[in-house]
Amino acid sequence: MKDLMALPNIGKVLAQKLIQAGIETPQDLAQQGSQAAFAAIKAQDPTACIQLLYSLEGAIENCPYQKLPADKKQVLKAYFKACAVLGT
């Protein structure tokens, strides 16, 4: 868990959610990608929000989620909306 918490945007609660989703290391997260990791968490926690998705991407990109480029946020937002429409 400490390895995950060393990433930006990942605190204890999000690290626990990642581990419950089978993502145990920063390498696992990078390999899965933010969207797949988000889907795995959302399957267990239907209240997962877009900020969580941004946080995952920021962790992979090694930056605070607030500093993600606008075009990257647009792609993530479209994915999040698609998840909502599909009920996933």
* pLDDT digit string (tens) for the chain, length 88 residues: 889 999 999 999 999 999 999 999 999 999 999 999 999 999 999 999 999 999 999 999 999 999 999 999 999 999 999 987 766 5
Q: Quick check: 30 and 4 in contact, CB under 8 A?
A: no
Q: Which of 36, 77, 40, 33 is nearest to 58 (CA)?
A: 33
Helices (H), ranges, 6-69: 12-20, 26-32, 34-44, 50-61
* Confidence at residue 82, expressed as pLDDT on a 0 to 100 scale: 93
Q: Work out the angle at residue 5's Cα, subtended by the Cα atoms of residues 66 and 28, and round it to the nearest 5 degrees.
A: 95
Q: What is the pTM of this model?
A: 0.93
Q: Which of 35, 26, 12 is nearest to 59 (CA)?
A: 26
